[in-house]
Structure 1
């Protein structure tokens, strides 16, 4: 039979935010006895600080948006300004959440720091994450606001015509919340953030990454308008993943040819960025470290069922590969393209075909 101390560790692993009073009641101990066990375990480094973070496998920490995706796909060519017949599907979504699910399906330990409403949609997303092994126990739960939603209008061919996002809860992922999650973030093997975060939170994370021996920090763009949230000083940002339009918005440069892309890369490197990946749908993608010329890869042509989630799958593949070799951007992009291709061939925002075997040589 487990000792009381081992039982306490099991309860903490299941719920890092459990109170000492709840621990006492579930273990049949006094609160002072629980406090004594917690103090001893902290001294032994078997738990790490507030929220009772347990040492062990270092997680990829994903910080950013979660929402319910609603996809309306036209049954016939869409006519603007008219009512169009369509099919409807719903699934979990959000850039950081999608990346987290992709990584979990690859068999990697993942923690998701996000904001959810205390509503049916939020409970659905938490349940879905738990079933995949994604730890979102430290996420912010709001009782006074709904879980975010994203509505995508798709053409009959699966191409995005219009996207409408209601992501107000992400504005609550402010620095004070991130400070509360410092113990979880300290255990990261890699941290990924999406640009749904407030500008002040992005600046906070970059400043912290630049001043400490922190895990690599990767940022994923979500739209051209939200590039305004990216800080001017990019020291601490290991990698930025964005598309052609988002790069133009980030730099204020017209991007008409490869020479323009190279200039944009140099401009971001001068601001402190470590590495850059620029995707262009089915066209060539570009990648490179600061101080080097961008290189390119041509995605393999594939049958497209729909485009939703392909960019998030690409980002997850890049991160998974960089965990194995932080300097090999070419291999990272190749794995990202492989995951994106599987997602393009699926009607789901995250392909159910993903598995740990995809990480094998």
Structure 2
């Protein structure tokens, strides 16, 4: 992370006395209080200081760049009858792949910063408030003139997804300038998690920042259409630490079949040749296949009673990243991710409000 000489002087003062005020800093350094406040604001944006009292950040951080929206979920009381009205229940909760991953990470205890966009509307207010309350740092979430995005999902009586409609136009406003404003924060992060919903230019720019700073980057492809549109960005000149597709997304990115485990391994090998260190392919009830420099390993799913499948993948990715920062190897991190996913689908929430590291480890 790049700090100016004056910023380094302020950090040294804060290490000696975290409760020192801006007036005292200004007097010590022979400058004005207004100038000190500008430097303190910059240190906050870089993730060096946290909150009131100018507490210095010590825990490793993850930066998540991706969508934030409101989820609308409707669940039928009985098996869905197409082209007809189905009695059921509906809920509205904050969502978005990037935002969900960030909230899961924060609830697990990882310091997490979100770079995103929400609308300047009531839904945007609610998303921001809920995300911040969960412990996510939202100083890099911008307000857009577009409406806050929505994800509308229809679930069958057994909790399985029937159909979903995603309106993520606000996510298109996450541009390179917004990511550039967070470049020092990204450069100081332990991990960068990227949502495949990002505009192509923004995703490419974020990957380039990670490469330049030597920061490990993880890409979540999100869907087959997004995987198809972003496949060319997965290239040797932009090496990824990990990518987390399902079978269909893996096939789309590589142009190879992925219907059998042997085909999944071959497709993963193709991605290794394109600079991806770890390919973590989700296989539904069969668990996942984690392929890396030491070979491929099947990681079993954790059994769970399905209430709602929404958010399982986001929980798995967040838990995987959290476990890596806790010092776990990639196989153990993947198993930890499966445990978090199982806990998520066993409840009605896209992100479990009671999610903790202790709760996840109790299921392993």
Name which of structure 1's ranges 217-226 and 202-211 shifts more when overlaid on structure 2.
Answer: 202-211
Structure-1 residue corresponding to 2:268: 265
Structure-1 residue corresponding to 2:310: 308
Q: How far, CA to CA, are the matches of 1:193 and 1:349 in structure 2?
A: 19
Does structure 1 residue 6 correspond to structure 2 residue 5?
no
1:18-29, aligned counterparts within 5 Å? Answer: none
Match for 2:278 among 252, 275, 278? 275
Shift of 1:189: 2.0
Q: Structure 2 regions of 5+ residues with no counterpart?
A: 1-13, 50-55
Q: Contact between 2:192 and 2:210, CA under 8 Å: does it hold in 1? A: no
1:85-164, aligned counterparts within 5 Å? Answer: 85-142=87-144, 144-164=145-165
Q: How far, CA to CA, are the matches of 1:127 and 1:187 in structure 2?
A: 26
Q: Contact between 2:66 and 2:194, CA under 8 Å: does it hold in 1? A: yes
Structure-2 residue corresponding to 1:73: 75
Match for 1:241 among 239, 244, 254? 244
Structure-1 residue corresponding to 2:183: 182
Structure-2 residue corresponding to 1:254: 257
Counterparts in 2 of 1:286 and 1:139: CA distance versus 1, 3 Å:
same
Q: How far, CA to CA, are the matches of 1:208 and 1:283 in structure 2?
A: 35
Q: How far, CA to CA, are the matches of 2:85 and 2:317 in structure 1?
A: 35
Q: Contact between 1:198 and 1:229, CA under 8 Å: does it hold in 2? A: no
Aligned residue pairs: how many? 331
Counterparts in 2 of 1:270 and 1:52: CA distance versus 1, 3 Å:
closer
Q: How far, CA to CA, are the matches of 2:239 and 2:96 in structure 1?
A: 24
Name which of structure 1's ranges 50-59 and 239-248 shifts more when overlaid on structure 2.
Answer: 50-59
Structure-1 residue corresponding to 2:167: 166
Could you report, residue by residue, the CA deviation over 1:60-101 in whole angstroms, capped at 9, with x for unpaired residues?
111101111100111222122222222111111111111111
Q: Contact between 1:53 and 1:183, CA under 8 Å: does it hold in 2? A: no
Q: Structure 1 regions of 5+ residues with no counterpart?
A: 10-23, 25-31
Structure-2 residue corresponding to 1:336: 337
Q: How far, CA to CA, are the matches of 1:274 and 1:75 in structure 2?
A: 44
Q: How far, CA to CA, are the matches of 2:148 and 2:22 in structure 1?
A: 32
Q: How far, CA to CA, are the matches of 1:52 and 1:334 in structure 2?
A: 30
Match for 1:286 among 275, 281, 289? 289
Shift of 1:279: 0.5
Structure 1 vs Structure 2 CA RMSD: 2.6
Q: Contact between 2:47 and 2:185, CA under 8 Å: does it hold in 1? A: no
Q: How far, CA to CA, are the matches of 2:303 and 2:181 in structure 1?
A: 45
Shift of 1:333: 0.8
What secondary structure does 2:190 align onto?
A: strand
What secondary structure does 1:296 align onto?
A: strand
Q: Contact between 2:239 and 2:274, CA under 8 Å: does it hold in 1? A: no
Structure-2 residue corresponding to 1:19: none
Could you report, residue by residue, the CA deviation over 1:318-352 in whole angstroms, capped at 9, with x for unpaired residues?
001111237x1110111001100100110000112
Counterparts in 2 of 1:78 and 1:60: CA distance versus 1, 3 Å:
same
Counterparts in 2 of 1:196 and 1:76: CA distance versus 1, 3 Å:
same
Q: How far, CA to CA, are the matches of 1:105 and 1:341 in structure 2?
A: 16
- Give TM-score, length-normalised by structure 1: 0.85
Q: How far, CA to CA, are the matches of 1:264 and 1:244 in structure 2?
A: 10
Shift of 1:146: 0.6
